[in-house]
Structures are given as C-alpha cells and as structure tokens.
Amino acid sequence: MDIIAAHQHGLIEQLEADAAALAGRARDHGQRTVVLHHLYDHARGSHGWALGEARQGLRIAAGLEALGKRIERWGWMTKGRDEARAGLNLLAEALGEAARSRTEAAYRAYRLSATAALRCEAETNIPPGLLALLDRCHSARRAGEYLSVEEECALAEESERFAAATVDMQSIEDAWTAVSATALGRAARRLVGAKVLSRHMCRDKRRGWARVERQLRNETTLPPSFRANPAQHFYALQHMLQERRRQQWREACDREPGAFELAA
C-alpha cells in the first residue's frame, strides 16, 4: 500500500468510526438530533431532510416515553402489563436502531461527498443521483448560495431513499406485532405509528424549516449548550467521542500480553 492509499484508508476508517459513534446507540435520540441538525446547519439550511429527521427523532423519543408512563399508570394488577412493557421495549429498540442506521448513513454520505481525497469511495458507496445533489449542496455552501426549491426537494427524496434502504423493516414489523397484541397497541399507533409520523413530517415541511429549527433549538430535552450554540456543542460531542475511542484503544493495547505501556 503506497502513502496516498494508506492516507485514504486512514481517512475512511476515521470517517466510519465517527459516523458510527455519532449515530450512537438505539435510544440516543437526543445525540442524533444534534448530529442531524449539524448537517442542516453546515449545509446553510439546504439539507432540510436532515432537520426533519432530527425533529422526527425527538417525536419518537417523546412518544416512547409517554407510552412507558402509560404502562406505569396501569398498576401491577393490570392484566397484560408485562407483555405491554416487553412489546414496548422491542418497539423502542427497533425504532431506535432504524434511526441510528439512518443517521449513520446520512452523516457518512454527507462527509464522504465533501472530502475530495475520498472521491472514489464516494462514487462507489453513494448512489449517483444522491451524490450529484450532495455535490451541488456543497458547491452552493462554499459559494454562499442556496439550493433551489426543486433541488432541495430532490435532495430530500434521494436522502430518504438512501437512508430507508439501511433499515431492517422486519424487526420493526415484529415489534409492532408484539405491541399490537397488547392493550398498548392503539396508543402506540397514535404516538409513533408510521402514518402519524409521516403527517408530522408533512406539517413541518409546510411550516418551513426556519420555524422548525427555531422550535428545535428551544427544545428543553436537549442540552443547554446545544440551545446556546449548536455548532460548538456538536464539535464538543465529536471531540469527546473521539477521545473516548482513543482511550478505549489505549486500554485495549495495555491489556495485550507483552505490550508496552502507552503514554497518556
């Protein structure tokens, strides 16, 4: 492997690790909101799909929390309480994992398309239509311009198609089957069902992304540091996750028999 290829390989590995860490675990909805908002903000408001996805994650988190509280109000004597709780856990994991994989794919595609040194990797892993629109998005951002309405809509459609392809739909269907078999089924559909979430997304688009962002930045479930300065909060999060990976690597090396002790 020559020096250039080794450098590119290192960049790809770092990007993969960043994307996975920032997407978090299944229930890290708040963290993903920060990451997705960053894509929207970095794109100067042209990546509306990312902001809509961020808002959707908070809705899912709030809905799941409300369903959990609903079960607790039933009392331990209520028939089917344990089954409802188990079904809700399955649904929370399935929806969270779907959101995680969608965020990871979106972040990776955005960063990959913006990195000139990884152009071959981008052309291999991102569909041509989406890549062309992301290229246009980056070009507009660098020039201080904005995408046209038609371009924004096309970017949203391609982004949704790309993200949706990463989701394990069978696990979501299985989780809904489990929840629907309990007394929680109807309430769950009202709060986090696909049709309800789709209606919310359409309503957000009609309201305009500027209004949606203002509401998001006032969301009290997100850290105060995000509300004060979203970009600074994102970069602090990214740095913290990178440092955590470095520490885990040091500890793993130190556990290897015969390994020398690494400097802090």
- pLDDT, tens digit, 9 for 90 and up, residues 19-28: 999 999 999 9
Tokens of residue 150, six digits: 């038609």
Q: Give the chain's mean pLDDT.
A: 94
Residue 135 counted as domain residue: yes
Parent domain of 193: 12-223
116 DSSP 8-state letter: G
The whole-number pLDDT of residue 259 equals 55
Residue 233 counted as domain residue: no
Residue 76 counted as domain residue: yes
Q: Is the pLDDT of residue 263 over 60?
A: no
Nearest Cα residue to 105 out of 167, 194, 147, 57: 167
Residue 107 counted as domain residue: yes
Tokens of residue 93, six digits: 């994991």
Residue 256 counted as domain residue: no
Q: How many domains does the chain have?
A: 1
CA distances from 43 to 16, 37, 95, 145, 152 (A): 20, 10, 26, 10, 11
